[in-house]
Amino acid sequence: MDRVKKKRARRLYCADAIILRGRGYVFIERLTDPTGIALVGGKRKGKETPLACIKREGLEETGAELSVHRELGTWSGPHRDPRGPSSTTVFVASALGKLRGEKGKTRILELTEEEARVRRDEFVFDHFEIFEYFLNGGGIDPKEKK
């Protein structure tokens, strides 16, 4: 009797950012599956650190350099991403420079807190819950609120 090996899902290691800009926040609209509103970020490459990843992903997805203020925390779980088990380190940052989406992949959305709350059902993964944690449970550093 042949043994069938069950392929174990490989964990995705990611980095994401809540990006402050003016009186609002920068999100992306994912144009590829899974589509919807997301925090800026993505999968880490090789032995890339979460900080290096978010700076690279920020530049790729927004065209702007990120000034990282602090780490907010790490979220992980087997069902937080439909592509498989994942873990993400989330940062709080500001975007420096002109914003532009990643052609064919993302569109930039600058939303106020209220606008984001109205569109909460359009967010992918657990990104709205992370954003809400930042606003409520994670708090806002007084230096960040201008």
How far apart CA 91 and CA 115 sit, in angstroms, is: 21
Residue recorded with tokens 């090996």: 5
101 Cβ partners below 8 Å, 6+ apart?
28, 29, 61, 62, 63, 107, 108
54 pLDDT exceeds 90? Answer: yes
Q: Please give the model's pTM, rounded to 2 decimal places.
A: 0.87
User: CA 89, 93, 97 angle in degrees (round to 5)?
Assistant: 135
142 pLDDT exceeds 50? Answer: no
Domains and CATH numbers, the chain: 12-135 (3.90.79.10)
Give the pLDDT of residue 146: 46
2 pLDDT exceeds 80? Answer: no
